Chain A
Amino acid sequence: MTIFRERPAREATTEAAATTAAREVGSRITLKDLKVGEVAHIVDFLVENDAMKKIEAMGLRRGKKITIMQKLGRGIVVKTSNSRIVITSDVARNIEVK
């Protein structure tokens, strides 16, 4: 789903700010774009909010190697070290990977 890139920014909510941030990165790859089985490294977090703080504390940190274990609907299972974390695509699109 890449519709959000064309959609005009709404009010200055965090939601809209996130959308803008995602649009600005343009060609950058986010965690949301990865397919099941792909391995990548986390480069950066594109927004700063409580959800990001939480996933960082849960072990998804800059420079960490991640593997996409499964994708279902909006849910993505990401494995890093020995922990498996489910995040939804609205969170995943704000995590830049390479």
Chain B
Amino acid sequence: MTRTIKVALAGNPNVGKTTLLNHAAKTNLKVGNWAGVTVEKREGFLSYNGFDIHFIDLPGIYTLEPISEDEWIAYNFISEEKPDVIVDVIETTNAERDLLLTTELLELERPMIIALNMSDEAKKLGIQVDSIHTGELLDIPVIKTNGRNGDGVKELLDAIVASAEAHRPPKTVRYSEQVEQALGSLEKRNHDGKMDKRALLKMLIEGNGRNEEKASLEKFFRKDINSIIKDERYAFAHGFYNESFKRRKPTARDLTDRIDKVLLHPILGFFIFLLVMFLLFKISFDFSTPFMNWTQGLIDNFFSPLVLSLLSDIGAGKWLPQFFSQAIVGGVGFVITFVPLIGMIYFLIALLEMSGYMPRIAFIMDRFMHRLGLHGKGMIPLLLGFGCNVPAVMATRTLENKRDKLLVMAMIPFMSCPARLVVFSFFAVMFFVHPAMVIFSLYLLGIAIGLLTAFFLRKTAYRGRLSHFVMELPPYRVPRLRTVLQIAWVQVKSFMYRAGTVIFAASVVIWVLLNTPPNLKSQSDSAAAYVGKAITPVLQPIGIKDWRISTSLIPAFLAREIVLSSMGTIYSVDVQKKNTEFHFLPALEVQMKGFASATKESFMSLLTPSIQTLQADEGDQGLRSVIRSSFTPASALSFMIFLLLYTSCLATVAVMAREGGKKFAFLFLAYSFVMAWGVAFVVYQVGSLL
């Protein structure tokens, strides 16, 4: 049987732990959540020299003193799960700061390895370190690594295996004479067996029962015990730093400082930020649209007919093919078409994150945001919301204060996503002379409602001062393409997993409702129609008087653009009845050619200066004429506003419930419904008078 070695990767934020993990475990990575909290948990697995190594990437922390959620997680993991080896990743250029955490980790007296990462950057800045000497000082392996090219990763793995086998703790940290004496006498009085240094210190600080040691130390140093211990740790870290690290005069001027002169410039920095945002949207929309169309074609014209022809070959009646094309292709298939967009967004976000620009956005925007009572860091999730609300809600994790986090989360669903755009362009082209203006106004309306919501919440539930912020700006680094792709892939994988589970289940439920009771003649007798008819009176004041429209809004809860396909089904329009003839090889050839032209189109679209996707397209003519008779311009506008604001899609609600709690998600659902109804009501009533 192979032995499993559990390895905890610990270190300050931005020291390159994740990159190192990607090098060691390649694609064998898993992202999840730490139990009970919403901090991301990354794990990696690999087989090495007959051992199964299981890496757990702890959240980036500056100290083991559990203050924030991240620190609690790291602290709990190390003390409860007892990893076989702790790898302390140090950013060599910032070793003096990083060594505080190292000191605290050493106190745990568990097998440990130091990885001196970013050794190439350190060399450039004139920082020299004698790793052998450092290792001898602490009696642990010290390995120089380079996250950029993977140098030192093999040595690190060897050291991990050797360390786990030897199971040897590092040399005990020695503090000042007085503190050591106090700890010695505490240990003598304690009969619970051998304790590690950290446990002893904890006992000294907490001083359960009689604790003369604490009192005499406080008297000696004229400081309280917490300050004494803190200073001792800093002193140890500092002494250790001076012993091992040598600084010469830097050979080159710091590139990051020079870039920051421009990117953080009070005026220039702001315009560069706008440019970066524009590019982010342009690339993620335009580059992925051809692939999204291709994916949809692949499902509609290849997979779906393929499965249907297979089903008819095995003689699978009427029920199964119907279930397949409506529930699976209609529900799950639709969500899958968004994979190219989501993948692209994640790719660009990972790129921004790895380059070091992301936290700078928070700094640049805090100046405007804090006047509105919002935290600068909230800007990033809000921007992501325009791409897709789901990752945007997840990105609120970067906000430490729960109030700030929920505030931003309540704004995100009002940021219009591409799914809504699909419906907007369909209706706007049909009923309005200037569709682009209408669409643009809808985007602005969403932002306005978001700000109004934030304002309202700041005055009621989330009162109080805006929390301060303390944040590190990492040095700029050129991200490695492979690492960025790996990170994006891991996220896409988990998105597809959701599509296969939650969204699949919901699609089945809605399909069943649309087809209950069995053997319906028309869908107007189905359970779904019944529900649609029941809610029609509620929607009547906003101009939705037809049960078929209100019914189509129900499946739209899965994903907003489904409103079109379900209207098609309910209005019994042949939206896309293709010929039933299906030949595998020619169809495959068409798909491959389609992929090639989609790739070409993607790259070509990047050459144009504007965002192509925002230009409304023609769409389906059959459905158009039927819908035209059911709406007036006023009710069409009110319908679009309702769709913009009402609830969120299922995926967003699910992620909101996970990040902000079920109560929060449901309250928000109710609130957004009321808001959507109210605004749509005013628009429809005023519009009807004109």
Contacts and interface: CB of A to CB of B under 8 A. Distances in A.
Dominant secondary structure at the A interface: mixed
Contacts of B472: 58, 83-86
B370 A91 contact: no
Given A73-B367, A73-B370, A91 B468 contact: yes
A82 B94 contact: yes
Contact of A69 (B63, B125, B264, B266): B264
A86 B370 contact: no
Contact of A70 (B62, B260, B359, B465): B260
B539 interface: no
Contacts of B471: 85-86
B65 A59 contact: no
Given A57-B63, A58-B472, A75 B366 contact: yes
Contacts of B376: 75
Interface in A8-34: 15
Given A72-B364, A75-B366, A82-B125, A55 B93 contact: no
B97 interface: yes
A71 to B, nearest CB: 8
A72 B363 contact: yes
A86 B230 CA distance: 23
Given A53-B63, A53-B65, A54-B470, A72 B94 contact: no
Given A84-B256, A86-B470, A72 B264 contact: yes
A53 B260 contact: no
B363 A77 contact: yes
Interface residues of B, number: 38
A84 B260 CA distance: 11
B395 interface: no
A53 B266 CA distance: 29
Interface string B240-263: 000000000000001011001000
A43 interface: no
B300 interface: no
Interface in B329-375: 359, 362-364, 366-368, 370
Given A70-B260, A77-B264, A87 B62 contact: no
B595 interface: no
B97 A59 contact: yes
Contact of A54 (B67, B94, B96): B67
A57 B363 contact: no
Nearest to A90: B468
Contacts of A83: 94, 97, 472
A81 B470 contact: no
B62 A57 contact: yes
B100 interface: yes
Interface string B56-86: 0000001101011000000000000000000
B367 A75 contact: yes
Contacts of A84: 256, 260, 472-475
A5 interface: no
Given A50-B67, A69-B260, A86 B100 contact: no
A81 B125 CA distance: 11
B264 A70 contact: yes
A86 B363 contact: yes
Nearest to A50: B67
Contacts of B94: 59, 81-83
A81 B98 CA distance: 12
Contacts of B366: 72-75, 88
Contact of A85 (B100, B234, B364, B470): B470
Interface string B392-421: 000000000000000000000000000000
B470 A55 contact: yes
Max count, chain A CB within 10 A of own CB: residue among B94, B359, B474: B94
Nearest to B250: A82
10 nearest A-B pairs in the assembled complex, by CB-CB distance: A73-B367, A59-B97, A57-B62, A57-B63, A84-B473, A82-B93, A88-B468, A70-B264, A86-B471, A50-B67
Given A75-B366, A86-B362, 10 more contacts: A57-B101, A58-B470, A61-B234, A69-B260, A77-B260, A77-B473, A79-B257, A86-B470, A86-B471, A88-B468
